[in-house]
Structure 1
Amino acid sequence: MFRSEDFPNDENGDVLRRMRDSGDNFAIPRDFEFTVVFATREAVQAFGDHFAQLGYEVVANESGHVPELPWDVTVVTHMLPTHAAITAFEAELQRVATPLGGRNDGWGCFEQ
């Protein structure tokens, strides 16, 4: 069983603790949707092309959820819900997004 100290005290750790507390089975891999936001269609295209070429499912739309960065790009990956995996994937997304003016805007998955 997981203990509170199994997750760092950061946003990802907080979400994972809530998932654990609601009974999620962390041994089951699932699709995770990571959202990155951008200001321009051109940035979205470059970012999306990069991850699509790596084999990820990529969906883009203009949501306006973040007014100054109205374009959302969702990158889907299949993995176990571990803090290390989530944090590493977020870092990779941000590494590609930063030169394009984008930033991470969260992630989600279905509980198992």
Structure 2
Amino acid sequence: MSRDYEQFPDDDNGNVLWQMHEDGDDLDEAHEIEYSIAFTDQEQAERCALFLLNEEQKISLFQDDDSGVTEWIITIYVYMEPAYADIVDLEEWFTKIANQFQGEYDGWGCMAYVYDDEDEEENYPV
């Protein structure tokens, strides 16, 4: 099957969605997509987390020391069909929110379920 560049544009998001499609993932089914915002300041992370909760978003907040630099990571869980335009819209919204609280939008990812002869799970981070 040739790639439909209107559905799967030639950028990071389009490439990940195309790869998911090529791997057999059903993009017409809802997935729990995880969007991340990173902070160097705990107070700003907590303020942003409260803002997102007030916006009725499902989130988690944790401290990450793995990179040698302490960061606070907010993960926003959105249950949605992984459509390119919707992902781009949410990325823009989360980037705006991240900037408002001196954080940095850090991408999205989701578990993909591929059903072949054997059930397999793959993780697609962007």
Task: Give matches, 1:86-97, under 5 Å.
Answer: 86-97=87-98
Tell which has more relative contact order, 1 or 2 (C-alpha 8 A, sep 6+).
1
For the aligned residue pairs, the C-alpha RMSD in angstroms reads 1.9
Give ranges in structure 2 of 5+ residues lacking alignment: 114-126
Aligned residues with identical type, % of pairs: 26
Matched, 1:43 2:44: yes
Q: What is the CA–CA distance in structure 2 between the aligned matches of 1:21 and 1:38, rounded to whole Å?
A: 34
- When normalised by structure 1's length, the TM-score is 0.89
Q: Indicate conservation of the 8 Å contact 1:36/1:102, yes or no.
A: yes
In the alignment, structure 1 residue 53 sits paired with structure 2 residue 69:
no
Structure 1: 4+ residue segments shifted above 2 A: 1-4, 64-69
Does the Cα contact within 8 Å between 1:33 and 1:76 map onto a contact in 2? Answer: yes
Q: Structure 1 CA distance, aligned partners of 2:30 and 2:23?
A: 17
Cα 1:14/1:65, change in 2 over 3 Å: farther
- Displacement, 1:69? 6.6
**Alignment coverage as a number of residue pairs:** 112
**Residue of structure 2 equivalent to 1:23:** 24
> Which structure has the bigger radius of gyration?
2
TM-score by length of 2: 0.80
Name the aligned partner's letter for residue 27 of structure 1. D
Residues 31 and 44 of structure 1: CA distance in aligned 2, closer, same or farther (over 3 Å): same
Q: Give, as a single letter, the amino acid of the residue that structure 1 aligns with 2:25.
A: D
Deviations 1:53-109 (A, max 9, x none): 121111111113555671111011111101111111111111111132211112111
Q: Which amino acid aligns with 1:3?
A: R
Rounded Cα–Cα distance in structure 1 between residues aligned with 2:2 and 2:28: 12
Higher helix share: 1
Matches within 5 A, 1:1-112: 3-5=3-5, 6-65=7-66, 70-112=71-113
Indicate how the Cα distance of structure 1 residues 20 and 62 shifts in structure 2: closer, same or farther if over 3 A, else same: same
